[in-house]
């Protein structure tokens, strides 16, 4: 009876607690991986939008008739883009 109370029951509690901790750790790891995936996907999307916008701005600036006006337009669009990031 004393052996059961002092040795076996605490071992069962420790084993149950270990399983719960392992489950929580695996859930944390899955959450961390999902968060990193979403973060990378968001970064790629932002970079894709930024590069497409800057390419469009550069093309429009080069199509301008007045060279001074096109450079000013390009710089203003580029500054606006940098503020957005």
Segment 10-49, tens digit of pLDDT: 788 888 999 999 999 999 999 998 888 887 777 777 666 7
Q: Which helix (H) or strand (E) holds 22?
A: helix 9-63
Report helix, strand or coil for 83. Answer: helix
The pLDDT value recorded for residue 61 is 66
Contact 72/57 with Cβ under 8 angstroms?
A: no
More confident call, 27 vs 68: 27
Domain boundaries along the sequence of the chain: 2-84
Q: Take residue 60 and report the two structure tokens written for it.
A: 């429009």
Q: pTM for this structure?
A: 0.44
């Amino acid at each position: 009876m004393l052996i059961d109370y002092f040795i076996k029951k605490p071992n069962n509690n420790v084993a149950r607690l270990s399983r719960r901790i392992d489950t929580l750790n695996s859930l944390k790891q899955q959450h961390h991986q999902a968060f990193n995936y979403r973060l990378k996907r968001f970064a790629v999307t932002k970079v894709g939008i930024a590069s497409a916008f800057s390419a469009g701005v550069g093309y429009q600036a080069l199509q301008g008739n007045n060279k001074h006006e096109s450079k000013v337009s390009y710089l203003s669009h580029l500054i606006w883009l940098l503020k957005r990031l």
